[in-house]
Amino acid sequence: MKRVIFFGLSILTIFLMVSCASSGQTGSNLQYEEIWTLGVQDKSYMEFALAPFWEAFPKAFPVDPVVRIGEVNVSEDFPYVFPGLGDQWAGGINHVFTIDFDLDEKYLADEEGSFELQIAAAGHWTSPMIWEFNLNGVTRRERIMPGGRSDEMLTDPARVTFRLYRIPFPGKALRLTDNRLAITSGDSWSVFDVIRFVKLDN
């Protein structure tokens, strides 16, 4: 009898694990509604601008990109590489990539609503770094981990291990029009897989 109970519990545990793994794209059982996205979460950066020609960044983007959701073409307007403070080839500064967007009124009905910026990215292969995220004056910081073993990360997405980072923002940080999200780079370059903004189901 004990063996039957143990077997049944084992089957139930496996079922729950599979259900949780398949019930949401966040890597947990959280459900969300996607509001906007840049790129595709496909373990590659090839849909973004410049890929895989990182050295073209200074000439192609002498000014850091400012894009608007609904108008942006990621293959032309948003670089796959995100240079940092230590990258002399990109000016040796912290770069800021900016995303402007408007919202449907339904998202503003609940100021206590939970929103997330979700970014699949990979940091320089040598050490972790800190990115800063500013949404309409609300600031968050996130530790971005290395995603490879060499500079081949810049030219071959198969050499990259992307991680999904989830940065929470409260509903009261948002407004109907002209939301501005500014992402500031860390000590060195990183590469993007996808950037999306979502509303979590309560």
57 plus 103 within the same structural domain:
yes
What pTM was estimated for this model as a whole? 0.85
122 plus 38 within the same structural domain:
yes
4 plus 88 within the same structural domain:
no
Q: How many residues does the chain have?
A: 202
Q: Check which CATH number belongs to the domain holding 160 and give it.
A: 2.60.120.260
- Give the whole-angstrom CA distance, residue 97 versus residue 4: 57
26 plus 38 within the same structural domain:
no
Q: How many domains does the chain have?
A: 2
* pLDDT at residue 202 is higher than 90: no
18 plus 57 within the same structural domain:
no
17 plus 43 within the same structural domain:
no
104 plus 37 within the same structural domain:
yes
86 plus 18 within the same structural domain:
no
89 plus 148 within the same structural domain:
yes
Which residue shows structure tokens 């990182």? 54
- Predicted confidence (pLDDT) per residue in 163-191, tens digit: 999 999 999 999 999 999 999 999 999 99
Q: Are strands 179-184 and 96-101 parallel, antiparallel or unpaired?
A: antiparallel
Asked if residue 186 lies in contact with residue 122, where contact means CB atoms within 8 angstroms, the answer is no
Structural domain boundaries, residue 175: 32-200
Greatest extent of the chain over all pairs of C-alpha atoms, in Å: 73
- Predicted confidence (pLDDT) per residue in 10-44, tens digit: 433 333 333 332 223 344 556 999 999 999 999 99
